Structure 1
Amino acid sequence: MSEQSPGTESVDRDEQLTVVHVVRHGEVHNPDGVLYGRRPGYHLSDLGRQMADRVADHLGKRDITHVVASPLERAQETAAPIAKAHGLDLATDARLIEAANVFEGKTFGVGDGALRKPDNWKHLTNPFKPSWGEPYVDQVVRMMGAIDAARDAARGHEAVCVSHQLPIWILRSFVERRRLWHDPRKRQCTLASLTSFTYRGDTIVSVGYSEPARDLVPAHLLAGAKPVKGKPGQSKAFGA
């Protein structure tokens, strides 16, 4: 075997491809349409568990060597079958958590009590930051840190990070050099979807998106769908 010349190892590392799949959790049991945010106690519904199993099947033959999730139950429960399918321990990274929000615990659909209370209006003054929750820039910093850490843990292979709609969309918007403030109805981040970041070395070179559980997602919750009257649920402006 020939002796490796100095610097070869670092060059190889710079050219190594690593894929980090950032998965949004499956459907949550939330019959009252509460904006649950970071609150504990919100678990996947039966349909959500089917979605999680579908994602695990979809990724079953991929070269997954690291699975990590937000500490919230819905993310942990989505990640568990993926980790199990690959014989991996499930790691937790608090940086993958849902965005903080002043409206947690409230219902926030059109015409309900939250918008009618003047005390809440002060939180709606700046959609660019946004004024109702965790700054978009802060979400970028923590999410980039989380996926970079996952890349390092699975370098040369693939990793899975399970997170939440708003932080995932903000992360993708940053990577694709779009403005961070946006129309929440146009987020391309459906339940149990994959937003996949391919790294060459330490640099993201491409972003992909797929919906392996699309047929299980209620039509009004698909990316870009118009709101349906009478459908309970939290406003997508505030994460999910």
Structure 2
Amino acid sequence: MATVILLRHGRTEANASGTLAGRTAGVHLDDLGRTQATRAGDRLAVVPLAELVSSPLERCKETARVVAARQARHDSVRPRVHSDKGLTECDYGEWQGRKLRELARSALWKTVQTNPSAATFPGGESLPQMQARAVDAVRRRDAAVGSAHGSDAVWLAVSHGDVIKSVIADALGMHLDLFQRIQVDPASISVIRYTDARPYVLATNSHEGDLSWLAPKHRRKRTRSRADQDAPVGGGAGPGTPA
């Protein structure tokens, strides 16, 4: 198993106007969104990424390409951006393209807020379906990255707000009905380290700060020991501890 950095795409005009873009084609980063993506890319430049994976939607691919360019400036190697349909936005069906203020007046809105495990979007998918395919995509790829590059490997998944929230909720062992308690802003970074024992949520909704502590400390492909995977009693010494 490895460590995944979950990056939400930068802001779009749809976000700024309060429109639920969903899977609408042609939704791009706005000026602020590009600035946000650049800032996230600069933070991530110090972390060698074993893989860079994106939702197939334009706003995520644009964000991922900015990160890849920043990686190249730091390491002279520009990672290839892979696409994974499992990371795509929720299929909001008939809600897609509508204003959030309008949707907030519907009965389903309250279900989405208070009982999301029972929410199915008309003509689209349910929130449990979204979570199941997103978690499967992340866990499956994480296992492949760990097998290919070692358990210290770090990879990046660029996706969408509700998708990332659902993956974090799964890692926390949190029922989907509580996932609205998690905040994931545009271009924010969240981090999950998967192990055979359990997932560890290392960060959520991060906008600032040094990420060099995520860089693999071992040059050779490495498998974590049982002690590495267990939760340290008392909290441990943190990521700066010498190997």
Q: TM-score, normalised by structure 1?
A: 0.70
Q: 2:8 matched to which residue of 1?
A: 24
Q: Which residue of 2 aligns with 1:95?
A: 86
**Correspondence for 2:32:** 47
1 or 2, which has the higher helix percentage? Answer: 2
Q: What is the aligned counterpart of 1:199 among 170, 186, 194?
A: 194
Distance 1:183 1:150 in 2: 23
Please, what is the CA RMSD of the aligned residues?
2.4
Aligned residues between the structures? 190
- Aligned residue for 2:140? 149
Q: Deviations over 1:133-186 (max 9, x none)?
A: 5323212221122212332443221110001111111111122121212474x4
Letter in 1 for 2:191: S
Are the counterparts in 1 of residues 190 and 206 from structure 2 also a CA contact under 8 Å? no
Aligned match for 2:63, one of 78, 101, 108:
78
In the TM superposition, what is the alpha-carbon distance from 1:29 to its structure 2 partner? 1.8
Secondary structure at 1:61's aligned position in 2?
coil
Separation (CA, whole Å) in 2 of partners of 1:148 and 1:183: 18
Is residue 106 from structure 1 mapped to residue 84 from structure 2 by the alignment? no
Opposite residue 46 of structure 1, the aligned amino acid is D
Kept in 2: contact 1:55–1:212 (CA 8 A): no
Structure-2-length-normalised TM-score: 0.69
- For each residue in 1:31-82, what CA deviation from the matched residue of structure 2 results, as whole angstroms up to 9, or x when unmatched? 5432111111110011111111111111111121100100111111111122
- C-alpha change, 1:160 and 1:115, in structure 2 (3 Å) is closer
CA contact (8 A) 2:169 2:179 kept: no
Distance 2:130 2:197 in 1: 19
**Contact 1:125/1:131, CA 8 A, preserved across alignment:** no
1:79-131, Cα deviation, whole Å (9 max, x unpaired):
1122232411100001101111131111121xx4x566xxx65x457443213
Cα distance change of structure 1 residues 153 and 177 upon mapping to structure 2, 3 Å threshold: closer
Per the alignment, residue 119 of structure 2 pairs with 130
Match of 1:231 in 2: none
Partner Cα separation in structure 2 for residue 211 and residue 27 of structure 1: 14
Gaps of 5+ in 2: 73-77, 210-243
Give the structure with higher Rg (CA). 1
1:222 corresponds in structure 2 to none
Aligned counterparts of 2:30 and 2:39: Cα–Cα separation in 1 = 14
Identity %: 27
Is the CA contact (8 Å cut-off) linking 1:37 and 1:99 kept in structure 2?
yes
